[in-house]
Amino acid sequence: MKLEWIGWLATVAFASSYFFKSPRLLRGVQGAAALLWIGYGLMIGATPVIAANVIVALAAVWSMWTSAKPVQ
């Protein structure tokens, strides 16, 4: 079974995030792409791919969460 398509889908998702004007939506798409990359990394047993994208996904979620809080 070829798993490459998951990596390509993750690449397209991540690259497409730059076309969104809303920073929140951009981060959401980047977080979703990172989850795809994590899945791909798990399937091919690539620890660096998994680790890097866990960091990206956490950063995307954190920045979405902090940007949603009202500034005092």
Give the pLDDT score at 54. Answer: 97
For the chain, how far is it from start to end, CA to CA, in angstroms? 53
Task: Tell me the C-alpha distance between 67 and 23, whole Å.
Answer: 9
> What does the pLDDT look like over 11-47, one tens digit per residue?
999 999 889 988 889 999 999 999 999 999 999 999 9
pLDDT band at 67 (very low <50, low <70, confident <90, very high): confident
Give the pLDDT score at 23. Answer: 86
pLDDT band at 1 (very low <50, low <70, confident <90, very high): low
Q: Is 70 exposed, middle or buried (0-12, 13-18, 19+ CB in 10 A)?
A: exposed
What global pTM score does this model have?
A: 0.83
